[in-house]
Amino acid sequence: MTRFVVVPQWQGSPAARAMQLVDGAEAIAGDLPRSACVRVDVPLEAGDALGTRVHRLSTLQQTRARIDDLLASETDRIVIVGGDCSVALGGIAHAAARHERLGLVWFDAHGDLHTPDSSVSGAFAGMALRAALGGGEPSLVVSPGIAPSRTVLVGARDLDVAESAFLADTPLARLDAVDLADTALADAVSQTDADAVWVHLDLDVLDPAAITGLTAASPFGADPARIVAALAALRARVPLAGASITGFAPASAAAAVDDLGTILRLVGALA
């Protein structure tokens, strides 16, 4: 059975439209089976940096603690519906505790590989993948982190200098979104020693022609059908430990409807 954990957190995002991530998470949840959904209460306040370089850290910590508490006794497969990318970390930590050699697939137009020291924005969503690998703000990282050698970054095409430098020095695999062949992702994960895989999908990995409700659209993204096919091939080879889907920020309720068909096909491929 798959349980959907809805986490409408916006506080990790650097976008001017960040609060619309709340509407996006709720719009997706509205089309999922109600009996299979559980919601995490996200604090309303923006939060405080607590003397660090991570903006809104206090709220991020509260939300993470609530996710951890919820998942502590969870035995079903989890799909986290966000919100900003950092909501995935509690699920990844939960899956890593159950799978000694957990692999990680991270679909994203951006690297999300900053630390508090390298980030210009201070937004934690831009540090989320680095935190999954065990680096960055100690109160939010996955510990022990996922091995870079078992991590595949898909579709990243908008990288900062610090992120490119990190990628050059780490054995993290990369796949291009535009030319994503049906078995390329499965092949990349199969070449690691992963015994299961967590898949994170930030919707900005998609080409802007496929979806409008994004806070930071980037051209030359993936076709949704290619991602669905790639996920099917991956799941045929490696057990899916869980997943997360984030980054939906519709401009209005009517605009959300236009994108939901595409999003729900992706949710189906993950669930």
> The domain spanning residue 248 has which CATH number?
3.40.800.10
pLDDT tens per residue, range 95-145: 999 999 999 999 999 999 999 999 999 999 999 999 999 999 999 999 999
Mean pLDDT to the nearest integer, 48-64: 98
Domain count, the chain: 1
Domain enclosing residue 124, as ranges: 2-270
Asked if residue 34 has pLDDT above 90, the reply is yes
Asked if residue 48 has pLDDT above 90, the reply is yes
Predicted confidence at residue 153, as pLDDT, reads: 98
| Contact assessment for residue 163 and residue 113, using Cβ atoms and an 8 Å cutoff | yes
Predicted confidence at residue 144, as pLDDT, reads: 96
pLDDT tens per residue, range 59-103: 999 999 999 999 999 999 999 999 999 999 999 999 999 999 999
| Contact assessment for residue 213 and residue 251, using Cβ atoms and an 8 Å cutoff | yes
pLDDT tens per residue, range 195-213: 999 999 999 999 999 999 9
**What is the Cα 143 distance to its own chain's centre?**
17
pTM over 0.95: yes
| Contact assessment for residue 181 and residue 229, using Cβ atoms and an 8 Å cutoff | no
Asked if residue 216 has pLDDT above 90, the reply is no
Distance CA 91, CA 93 (A): 5
Q: Where are the alpha helices (DSSP H) in the chain?
A: 20-30, 57-71, 88-98, 128-132, 161-168, 184-190, 224-237, 253-270
